[in-house]
Amino acid sequence: MLLVGAFALSLVFVALALLLNSAVYTENLATRNSGDDTQEAIEFSREVRLAVRGILANLESSGSDDVEFKSTMNDWTNRAERHYTADGVTIGTSVKSVDTTTYDSAEIRVTYRSTQVRYAAVIEVDRTP
C-alpha cells in the first residue's frame, strides 16, 4: 500500500512539473517581441545613401548630367528590388530633383506576413563634396 501511495505521489509531482513547465513556456512565448522590426528600413536607408554617394561621385567625375543620374538610380533600384525580394521585402525608390544640387530618395515599403508597414525615408545627398 505504501508503494502505491508513493507511486501516486510521484505522478502528482510529474503532473505538477509538466503544468509549471507549460506555464513558463507560454509566458516565454507571450513576452516575445511581436512588433514590426524596422531593421530592413534602416539597412535600406543606409544602402541608398551609400549608393547615391557612389553614383554621384562616379557620374561627376565623368561630367554626366541629371538624366544620366536618374537612369543610373533606376538601374540601381531594379537591382536592389531583386536583392530585397529574395528576403521577402518589397522596396521602391524614386528620384525627385529638388534643385540642381540636392536629390531625395523616396519611399520604402516593407511587407510582412499579413500586414503591410510603410516607412517614408527621405535621404538628402548633396552633390557638392
Indicate whether 25 pLDDT > 80: yes
3-state secondary structure of 83: helix
Mean predicted lDDT score pLDDT of the chain = 71
Residue 85 clears pLDDT 90, i.e. is over it? no
Higher-scoring residue by pLDDT: 63, 109:
63
Chain center to CA of 122: 16
Spell out the domain ranges in the chain.
Answer: 39-126
Average pLDDT over residues 39-61: 77
- 14 has pLDDT over 60: yes
| Strands, E assignment, 1-129 | 95-97, 102-111, 116-126
Confidence band, pLDDT 50/70/90 cuts, at residue 117: very low
Q: What is the DSSP string of 40-63?
A: HHHHHHHHHHHHHHHHHHHHHHTT
Picking from 13-17, 76-80, 95-99, which range would have the lowest pLDDT averaged per residue? 95-99
- Phi, psi dihedrals of residue 82, rounded to the nearest 5°: -65, -40
**Residue 11: what pLDDT?**
94
Half-sphere exposure of 50 (CA within 13 A, CB side): 7
Distance set, CA 68 to CA 27, 90, 119 (Å): 56, 25, 27
> Which pLDDT belongs to residue 61?
74
